[in-house]
Amino acid sequence: MAGKKGVIPSHVKKKHFEHPGIDFPVIQLLEGVEDSRSPSLFFRYSLTSVLFMTLVGIMCGATDWPKIIVVARGLSAWMSNYVDMTSGVPCERTFKDLINALAPAALENVLRELAGLMREKPVLEVVSFDGQTSRGTSDKYKGLSGIHLVNAWSAENGLCIGQLKVDDKSNEITAIPELMKMLDLKGTVITADALNTQKTVAKQAIEGNGDYLLPVKGNQPGLQEFVIDAFEAAEKKQRAAAVQWDHAIAQAKEQREEARLQRLLAKGASKCGIFTYEDGAEKAHGRVEIRRCTTFAAAGLPVAAEWSGLKSLVRIDRERVVRDKVTHERVYYISSLTPEKPELIASIARRHWGVESLHWRLDVVFRQDQSRYRDRNGARNLAAMRKIVLNALSRETSMKGGLATRQYAAAFNPAYREKVLKNLF
């Protein structure tokens, strides 16, 4: 007798699939992604298999579903070493339905977990946060702009260690602290653009046992004015101390007080809490660039009580010479790092811009901006899978050439494909 319409009979269980590679972390994590389909006796395709086929397709250079299907059909015998392929390769509609129905948080967790397995944590690892809009996901008929994702980038590892979608009615300011809570940031230095120089970001960095270096620009006019005035006052005091020191030197020489003179020379003029580092001229791509980093202790300043863990005010000056044209740029920062090591702070500020290489690779190599994928969940899930693949390809450095070259090698060279996958195993 037929059961009640819409009610799943108790004897119908979710079909069980056997995956030969279940001992590998990537297969285990994919197997842990919740399948939104209702239990049925008629399941043909495992969600884990579909996700694995998608990852391998992207790894081999596929940028849309038809190409992913071509790769999956060509490599189905090889894939059967890792996942259940007894039902073959599903059609495009099945791929879309499954990926669109997935809760994005599940695949973003897979991204974080796999990145955690690959990630090494050196002292003061720089983790940069920045947002990127997938323009191809906009839908003018529904009044939706492209989805905007905040990414966390480990500069030392060259890995994307997390992503989180910015709510359509919100912005990065609220998303970044939420993403920070999901990551292991102990012993790291958090960097971001000026938009995210927020007290919530600084507080979350300190609560996560990390540090921060955040730029101060026009979006924080009161803070920017305070930092500029503090530097001017400190440098005025430093110049007065230098004049006083010169006068004392001249007086010791005039009075022939050799012992006093040697003490003054050994001590030097008072720095008044200011530390400076200037690197040598760097020549690259037809330009010459000189950078100077000046740091100043924030202890005792009113602003120190407003920002969690604030210890330093920072100023970085950059002078670029391109042919005969000279340009100057000055940027201010606040930081929880101590001011005594301006060279270290200058290095961290430079490493922040490594996050731009993530955006470039996603757009140029993986064609993310050209993907006209309108489903919000599906686009976000594919973004997470691209970053999983990008991490795996980035860690495999035995082959010379960029990521696109490695994708071709993964497509046509089984041995190299295995090497890339080992980064996920």
For position 67, what pLDDT does the model report?
Answer: 94
Angle at 101 between CA 99 and CA 105, to 5 degrees: 85
Task: Annotate 12-24 with b (16+ C-beta within 10 A) or e (fewer).
Answer: eeebebebebeeb
Asked if residues 131 and 150 have their Cβ atoms less than 8 Å apart, the reply is yes
Of residues 86, 396, 335, the one with CA closest to residue 407: 396
Asked if residues 294 and 319 have their Cβ atoms less than 8 Å apart, the reply is no
Write down all domains in the chain, each with its CATH number in brackets.
Answer: 25-108+375-422 (no CATH), 117-216+357-363 (3.30.420.10), 221-346 (no CATH)
Relative to beta strand 125-133, strand 188-192 is parallel
> Which residue shows structure tokens 């038809």?
66
Relative to beta strand 148-154, strand 211-216 is unpaired
Asked if residues 222 and 299 have their Cβ atoms less than 8 Å apart, the reply is no
Distance CA 337, CA 76 (A): 52
Query: Which residues, 6+ apart, have CB-to-CB distance to 2 below 8 Å?
Result: none
Q: Which two tokens stand for residue 79?
A: 């894939």
Asked if residues 358 and 133 have their Cβ atoms less than 8 Å apart, the reply is no
Q: For the beta carbon of residue 108, count every other beta carbon within 10 angstroms.
A: 22
pLDDT in tens, the chain (425 residues): 455 655 555 554 556 778 888 888 889 899 989 888 776 656 788 999 999 999 999 999 999 999 999 999 999 999 999 999 999 999 999 999 999 999 999 999 999 999 998 899 888 999 999 988 877 676 677 666 778 899 999 999 999 999 998 876 567 888 999 999 999 999 999 999 999 999 999 999 999 999 999 999 988 899 999 999 988 888 888 788 777 877 788 887 888 888 887 887 777 766 777 888 888 666 665 678 788 999 999 888 888 889 999 999 999 998 888 777 888 889 999 999 999 999 999 999 999 988 988 989 988 888 887 777 778 888 899 999 999 999 999 988 888 888 999 999 999 999 999 888 887 76
Global pTM value: 0.85
Of residues 37, 34, 32, 36, the one with CA closest to residue 22: 32
Q: Which two tokens stand for residue 129?
A: 């946060």
One DSSP character per residue, 63-87 reads -SHHHHHHHHHHTHHHHTTTS--TT
For position 10, what pLDDT does the model report?
Answer: 56
Distance CA 312, CA 277 (A): 15
Reported as half-sphere exposure (CB side, CA atoms, 13 A), residue 11 has a value of: 2
Q: For the beta carbon of residue 79, count every other beta carbon within 10 angstroms.
A: 20
For position 35, what pLDDT does the model report?
Answer: 85
Largest CA distance in the chain: 116
